Structure 1
């Protein structure tokens, strides 16, 4: 059996609406929203009494998706380190290609994004940066310049 595709990346957030606003500002679109609970949810994630709200976000080309989830029960657990650095083990970051990195940073700052380091240029090809978004999510941006 062959792998068909990567379907989505799931991210647990503290405030679903704030995360949806952030990723909408970035240019993603809400594909669907749902309340998730019941036996199937408990079985799928291996927790008892799951009750959560999710928003499925998609990139404009329709190929990339993020599933944002806010857990109401059981309560979400912190990762143990507030604002872990980019070299922390585990899911590293989500990267997006953008047309104008400076404009994107300015728009996302209105949604609480914080620039980590600075915008760096890789040779004559890309401008790149890392931002910390809602719930401490690391988001990388890349602007192709040639």
Structure 2
């Protein structure tokens, strides 16, 4: 019998150009800044395979304390690709989905931060109202409101 050694998911990482702008956007969404640091040194390059690197990171945490979003801004080496505005059917990591208590109220706050609706707000059966938005720097974000949970 195989053992399951997975304990939890620690975080999802997103590389951005403006760390301050990303922190502001995700704070407005409801995440809290848990910490901010510059990561560099030989050990960091061994983990990522990039060799010498210097990266500013900010760790954001959800209100329940169980999920984290690591925002990174690479100082060296520079970023070499940009997948932020890829369509929903692109290969690879695409979007992050958040449960929210009030979808309309959340959207109104995020629109003020420059967010735009990708398609439309839809209802899935009697379970969720959900949508995709383009947030800070065009990042694709999913928002879902569980119906009957207000």
Regarding TM over 0.5, the answer is: yes
* Shift of residue 106, structure 1, vs aligned partner: 1.2
Aligned length: 145
Instruction: Give the alignment of 1:102-141 within 5 angstroms.
Output: 102-141=104-143
Q: Which runs of 5+ in 1 are unaligned?
A: none
Instruction: Give the alignment of 1:2-81 within 5 angstroms.
Output: 2-79=5-82
Question: TM-score, normalised on structure 2?
Answer: 0.91
Question: TM-score, normalised on structure 1?
Answer: 0.94
Structure 1 runs (4+) greater than 3 angstroms displaced: none
Distance (whole Å) between structure 2 residues aligned to residue 82 and residue 125 of structure 1: 29
* Shift of residue 121, structure 1, vs aligned partner: 0.7
- Residues 98-132 of structure 1: per-residue CA shift (max 9 Å, x gap): 01111111111122211100100112221000011
RMSD across aligned positions (CA): 1.3
Query: Any idea what SS the aligned residue of 1:90 has?
Result: coil
Query: Any idea what SS the aligned residue of 1:118 has?
Result: coil
Q: Tell me if the contact between 1:57 and 1:67 (Cα under 8 Å) persists in the aligned partners.
A: yes
Q: Which runs of 5+ in 2 are unaligned?
A: none
Distance (whole Å) between structure 2 residues aligned to residue 43 and residue 108 of structure 1: 37
Tell me: CA distance 1:65–1:21, structure 2 relative to 1, closer, same or farther (3 Å): same
